[in-house]
Structure 1
Amino acid sequence: MNIQDTPGRADAVAELLVGAVDLHCHSGPAAFPRRIDHRDAMKDAEAAGFEALVYKDHFYPGMAHATLLQTLYPDEKVKVYSGVALNNANGGINPFAVDHAVKLNGKIVWMPTFSAKNHIDKSQTETKNYPKSDKPMLEQIPLTVLDENDRLTEATQQVLDVIAAGDIILAGGHLNVRELKILFAEAKKRGVKKMLVNHPTYVIGCEDDDMVELAKMGVFMEHSVCMLIDCRARRHEPDDLARLINLVGVDSTIMGSDLGLMNMPLPIEGFREIVSILLDLQFSEADIRKLIGGNAGSLI
């Protein structure tokens, strides 16, 4: 879809992007090759009038990068943040890594992604085309939040307590839906107020009923823009996007780019296209602003 095809569409899209928030920007440097670095992602977001941008790397916390960029470019209005993904490189499900993230103004803790047992189990199916590093990496130790009795591990419970105390976002990473239901239920009991499922229809295994159940618990569904626009990662057509949003409601849905990878649109390009699609689907401007910024902004 070319947003220039409809007269005035580009201007309408540009206006709606002002105040947008991307919680899922895969800029670099990174072990997996990236098309864009943190500074260029920041510049693109600033030029488009974004409110905020969250850098996500699977292997290192990016809070120091975000803070340094904010210091170096104090006149730019976009706020840049990061968080920590609890993969092997960060010590796995590690409350100390989470505590460090909180102390450095991290905004999100992602449960295991690349190191998640669920991700590894699906390496011959859903994740077989997942990005790879230029150089071979150590074999991942499969991680899960559950013990042999299907109860949350002690380390996971400690992580939840640190997240609750810091009042930051708990994101499900690449855990499967069964793990997530146990995790989010306990998180809510322990005082975690901000919860997010990353790309529920990819790797996670969420069916419609699962998304409704989680949304009723106060968990946001974050749908990856890259899986909804015209690119090699596409998994859904526009009508399916409308169905996914209406399934749990605009107030429980967030759009995150999940972009920055090679041979893919830039994050800002993905946001432009998803806004145009949402306009075509007849979502109101108020609802579009919630989906691409307001809901995410309320979490950070």
Structure 2
Amino acid sequence: MSGPATAQPRTAEIEAHVDILMHGAIDLHCHSGPSTMPRLVDHQAAFEQAAAAGMRAILFKDHYYPTGPFAEMLKERFPGRATEPIGSVVLNNAVGGLNPYAVEHALKVGGRMVWMPTQSAANHIREGHRKVLLATKTPMRKPTAITILTPHGELLPEVGEVLDVVAQYDATLSSGHLHISEIWPLFDEARRRGVKRLVVNHPTYTVGASFADLKELAGQGVWLEHSICMFVPGRFQCFGTAHLQDVLKAGTLAQSFFGSDLGQINNPTPVEGFRELIRLLLNLGFSQDEIRRLTGDNAAEAIGLASNARVAVQTFEQAV
């Protein structure tokens, strides 16, 4: 894996391309506030910045509360904006964990994505034993570890109840910070119960997925979202350009997309992160059609928005 990349050059020609490619981009992983965690922008500021850049949609994620009411408020407050604000719910301790009641309420009020546990996931807690992951402004109660499996490796009954609600409301299911070993049985059961859209976020960070896993997941139609914050300059950058191309080759351009995973202090804003990623992809030789797929078209399909016609991507996959 190559080392972290530096900030990409900004010529007038590159910036013109970036401006064009920002139109229609979709961020399904925005960490704006208010939050118990330090945030650089709030939901309204993130939404207005996305709208100013011509983005098609932005999904708000908070580890502790459903964000749908904020999305609904923004739709009412800014009725003429082409950018769509989207809510979500993360099944951590704060909403009762694997709680179908919380899921149903969140999906009735502006939510379109249900995330499995993140901060409360047993896998996340194990990963954080050497460092603090997702630090809050002030100390809070330590999370109680959530797993979706019984000691015999079977899904807990309440997981099935959650999946039934996700299917009923035609929402998207994210695996959150579960381990890849938990994701396989979860997604098998989700399909069986009628869930149509499945997402694994930052699969090679915390989740523990290998390149072989990415290939298998993509072959099953699972969407693979990679976090922009891990590839562009900022305090969370941990991967270089070689890793970026490796994950896209393994997971295919047909099933991969990028979400910002930004909004925290001392980082780029979500819009700035998208712009930096597009510069990076342009300098790596990706075509405009490929970049549109990775920054908008695939995300539209993953969240259930009407998508533009899918474009051919064999050029990249044959060249890598």
Correspondent of 1:116 among 97, 116, 121: 121
Aligned to 1:264: 267
Aligned to 1:286: 289
Cα RMSD of the aligned pairs, angstroms, is 1.2
Is 50-59 or 277-286 further displaced after alignment? 277-286
Is 78-87 or 275-284 further displaced after alignment? 275-284
Q: Is the 8 A contact 1:3 1:9 kept in 2?
A: no
| TM-score normalised by the chain length of structure 2 | 0.91
- Cα distance, 1:129 vs structure 2: 4.0
**CA–CA distance in 1 between the matches of 2:184 and 2:37?**
30
- Cα distance, 1:4 vs structure 2: 4.9
Task: Give the secondary-structure state (helix, strand or coil) at the position aligned to 1:68.
Answer: helix
Correspondent of 1:228 among 226, 231, 239: 231
Q: Identity across aligned pairs (percent)?
A: 42
Task: Give the secondary-structure state (helix, strand or coil) at the position aligned to 1:215.
Answer: helix
- Cα distance, 1:196 vs structure 2: 0.3
Task: Give the secondary-structure state (helix, strand or coil) at the position aligned to 2:181.
Answer: helix
1:43 aligns with 2:48: yes
Aligned to 2:316: none
- Cα distance, 1:3 vs structure 2: 4.9
Structure 1 stretches of 4+ with a deviation exceeding 3 A read: 1-7
1:143 aligns with 2:158: no
Deviations 1:147-203 (A, max 9, x none): 111111000011111111111110010000000111111111111110000111111
**CA–CA distance in 2 between the matches of 1:5 and 1:290?**
22
Correspondent of 2:39 among 34, 37, 40: 34
Aligned to 1:165: 168
How many pairs does the alignment contain?
298
Deviations 1:21-63 (A, max 9, x none): 0000000000111010001101110010000000000000011
- Cα distance, 1:91 vs structure 2: 0.6
- Cα distance, 1:2 vs structure 2: 4.7
| TM-score normalised by the chain length of structure 1 | 0.96
Deviations 1:226-272 (A, max 9, x none): 00111221121112211211212111001000000111111001000
- Cα distance, 1:65 vs structure 2: 0.8
The structure-2 alpha-carbon separation of the partners of 1:209 and 1:3, relative to structure 1 and needing over 3 Å to count, comes to closer
- Cα distance, 1:131 vs structure 2: 3.1
Map 1:219-258 to 2 at 5 A.
219-258=222-261
Aligned to 1:194: 197
Task: Give the secondary-structure state (helix, strand or coil) at the position aligned to 2:195.
Answer: coil
Task: Give the secondary-structure state (helix, strand or coil) at the position aligned to 2:34.
Answer: coil
Aligned to 1:93: 98
- Unpaired runs of 5+ residues, structure 2, are 1-5, 304-320
Aligned to 1:178: 181
Correspondent of 2:218 among 215, 235, 249: 215
Aligned to 1:22: 27
**CA–CA distance in 2 between the matches of 1:111 and 1:131?**
16
**CA–CA distance in 2 between the matches of 1:276 and 1:134?**
33
